Structure 1
């Protein structure tokens, strides 16, 4: 699914709220009540809404939960509830492909990063971020034994949380057993772009073979769903075997990943 306020809020952890979305609702209740009763202090507001006065005080004094701030940032960028047929949804799904195939989302910070490859240039990765409205910088370009990464310069943690809300994992991706459902929610042309980006990141060619090999360290269910996406967007032959996919030369030409 595309990211929503609810799914974004639930990427935040909170010791006081088993469901972080409830904190967003409580914050909104406090702000609405305070707007209607501007002379009421924290104790009266807390009693009226059955909330601890200490929690209410911070919100009355201009404090804001991180989840609420994140939702506002996502709204400002147009990331929440985009029409699946929209350019925003397409841009988010294409960035999702870059992250799943050639990048990661940090477990602690939720910051996304994408490593360019032989077929995927730094310019293309930067454009993928810019299409969702964030500027980027290059990280580790001069650091030995570290992959060069393209990362956002602003709103990156909220963008990463939106991608997680869409189905991307944080940290290691080896346990990801299904493609994000949003891939099937967008138009076929966007799904084709998702597949092309994924194969361009992960595809390998051998001098003695005309096929393209996509090696994926994922459960077989993920690999099978990736093949289903390829079967949906191209007519030529794609097969699964040995923890990966084999794409015929004709299929590679049809997909545009020769």
Structure 2
């Protein structure tokens, strides 16, 4: 895949709305746009005439014309475009943010299956965590969902358009719902042909949440109670950006001292907008 090739199309995002108000949300988007274009040239025609002219269901057109209802999928596409999430490429600053957020869904967050809202648990750096930078760079900011307690740090979520962002992250490959209950679990598809810098950022974000350094050996261990196939996939990804052995164990992935040093052994990888160039 070329660096300038789009990673997220309107159709892909629209499909996440299937089964709600419309069985085929992308078809509804195209119909809505046809109605809007027709009304520009025929401002005096009512919904029945429009429906007949375009051969569309009368009830559907009436809700758009007489009741001025905008389908949720259309509103979602508009918001995604305003935030710069659609047609992103590997080289876009916006994708830098999305890549980091996908990594955080895997390593320290989740996307609610019912409302599509992403939640992120802050690591030991608290509100200096890189996920704060990622949400700011994604143009949504953040709000505190739960304060810190004895078991974990504060939990944050996007400050606006969180459900739409959750859908975007899902299209990019982030898991939806409780990860422990998913039968199939693998890394996001866009990493398969991603440039090194994209893979490297994903790894650093992942490690900032899940790495357990061993001072005695200078190695790093990641505890992963996932299928072995996933641990092997994760190890292969880390090897692709690290110079040194990375091994798979029972419920763990171990990054050797050499590999750790080649990664810079960064406990936190900052991606503030001014550093993303």
Does the alignment pair 1:28 with 2:30?
no
Q: Which of 152, 163, 166 is equivalent to 2:169?
A: 163
Counterpart pick for 1:248 among 228, 248, 256 = 256
Q: Aligned residue for 1:58?
A: 63
Query: What RMSD over aligned residues (CA atoms) do the two structures have, in Å?
Result: 2.1
Q: State the shift of 1:57 in Å.
A: 1.1
Aligned residue for 2:15?
10
- 1:239 aligns with 247
Q: How many residues of Structure 1 are paired with residues of Structure 2 in the alignment?
A: 257
Name the CA shift for 1:132/1:77 in 2 (closer, same or farther; >3 Å): same
Deviation at 1:257, TM superposition (A): 2.8
Q: TM-score, normalised by structure 1?
A: 0.91
TM-score, with length taken from structure 2: 0.85
In 2: Cα distance, 1:18 partner to 1:53 partner? 17
Structure 1 consecutive aligned stretches of length 4 or more whose deviation exceeds 6 Å: 143-146
- Distance, in Å, in 2 between the alignment partners of 1:13 and 1:108 is 14
Q: Deviations over 1:85-124 (max 9, x none)?
A: 2222122111211121100111111111111123x54222
Deviations 1:133-182 (A, max 9, x none): 11112221166767521211111111111001111122111324221111
Moved more, 160-169 or 15-24: 15-24
> Structure 1: 5+ residue runs without aligned partners?
none
The correspondence for 1:71, drawn from 36, 53, 77, is: 77
* CA drift at 1:66: 0.4
Partner of residue 237 from structure 2, selected from 224, 229, 244: 229
Residue number among 133, 146, 153 corresponding to 1:127 in the alignment: 133
* Contact 1:93-1:182 within 8 A present in 2 as well: no
Describe the SS at the equivalent of 1:214.
strand
Q: Any unmatched runs of 5+ in structure 2?
A: 1-5, 267-277
